[in-house]
A = this chain, B = another copy of it.
């Protein structure tokens, strides 16, 4: 395989069986076992990707696309060995059309790199999953984050794709327009398909104007339920909130312990509103009234960028505070999403579970969209600790499914959540498998992810 791939790439530095390189490509930043690929390639051009896929297709060798390595559900694990295809060297912003609010990027461009590049145009790409992930990886998992309440997820912000299919053919989907009803929506089928239906070589993104002003606020409540109700009111008002995050009291306590801060240890809503300077003034006044009407015991807001960061510190530091309390811990997280009315309930239930399982964790809720995480710093080698996490995670997922929710709001299925998907998508899994088989009959594209392939038929 080495010689064949070297013949394609003609560069010994871009075809590697070096142990350190293989180890780096044996998984993401996840809690799962690691498994080395047979080889790692670093394509620089679309044509190289095509040739590698054609080669792999002819030999039935698995291909696992690899970006920043920030997956946390095992998407990057070479379950059946094969070729890990690292997109680090395909990291160019190909073209910017500022008047169209459109940019085209190679899959290895990272979120922060992109936004740095876009700043001079007064534009930005609003999806922010936290990690400095690659755009390719974010598209492959339909990533989102704290901005989703206003800007949606990747699927709302990807306009088109260049994709290498399992047989090596290069296709383009979507385009550069905001809207299109031209045939099947292949773009959004591919987004979130976790590398199992095609490999992205170029991604066309919709951009947003950087708003003139941003104001952030925090509102303290006596109970998580009251905070949840207040968040519902904000959504119902149609005020157009930018971000809305819920942090529970125990999480703020953990931040105070870790950082030596003295934030008030109560359930707290963190809010962000943006728009024109005048509109933000009015918007925040309106939000303040809503919070006070909902029983908020304390409300603060800030316009200045440094003070904004300070005001949100308890939110920003929460995951780090949990992971950082003990040395050599890995961030491990739950990721369910429930209908908005079920969020406060689900968070309170999860906090009880943490106590029951004696797990030290932060609870962070994207309360504008019902997605929340219980975040832990775990020693993934510690079987007993991991067993407790798995038991807790299963209960959190079961509770979400029982409350009309989903097992993953934004992290994806990968390897880690396959068993939950079977339960959640009991009726539609067949349709997914029919599509997978029709587009990748030899199952070479990131095999062993989302579901196990098996014979499926439709009469």
Contacts and interface: CB of A to CB of B under 8 A. Distances in A.
B279 A283 contact: yes
Give how many copies assemble into the complex.
2
**A178, A406, A440: residue with the most chain B Cβ atoms closer than 10 Å:** A178
Contacts of A4: none
Contacts of A434: 438-439
Interface in A201-249: 208-212, 232, 235-240
A459 B58 CA distance: 9
A238 B192 contact: no
A308 interface: no
Contacts of A438: 434-435, 437-438, 458
A268 interface: no
Contact of A238 (B275, B430, B441, B458): B275
A239 B437 contact: no
A278 interface: yes
A191 interface: yes
A167 interface: yes
Interface stretch (A6-14, A148-156, A293-301, A356-364): A148-156
A193 B122 CA distance: 36
Interface string A397-422: 00000001111111111000100110
Contacts of A281: 282
A282 B276 contact: yes
A175 interface: yes
Given A173-B428, A179-B371, A181-B411, A100 B339 contact: yes
A306 interface: no
A339 B177 contact: yes
A207 to B, nearest CB: 10
Contacts of A21: none
B180 A337 contact: yes
B409 A183 contact: no
Nearest to A236: B209
Contacts of A153: 179, 181
Interface in A248-265: none
B274 A177 contact: no
A239 B213 CA distance: 10
A404 B171 contact: no
A185 interface: yes
Nearest to A424: B182
A166 interface: yes
A348 interface: no
Nearest to A121: B236
A451 interface: yes
Interface in A376-412: 404-412
Nearest to A100: B339
A441 B237 CA distance: 47
Contacts of A176: 339, 404-405
A156 B369 CA distance: 14
Interface in A141-161: 141-144, 148, 152-153, 155-156
A186 B123 CA distance: 31
Contact of A184 (B211, B405, B450): B450
Given A208-B238, A406-B175, A182 B413 contact: yes
A450 B183 CA distance: 6
B279 A97 contact: no
Interface in A116-158: 122-123, 141-144, 148, 152-153, 155-156
Given A100-B340, A122-B236, A178-B369, 15 more contacts: A97-B339, A99-B339, A101-B236, A153-B181, A167-B459, A173-B428, A175-B406, A178-B337, A181-B411, A183-B421, A185-B188, A209-B236, A209-B238, A240-B275, A441-B458
14 contacts: A141-B181, A144-B179, A169-B430, A170-B427, A180-B408, A182-B406, A182-B425, A184-B197, A186-B432, A188-B189, A189-B435, A212-B238, A237-B276, A435-B435
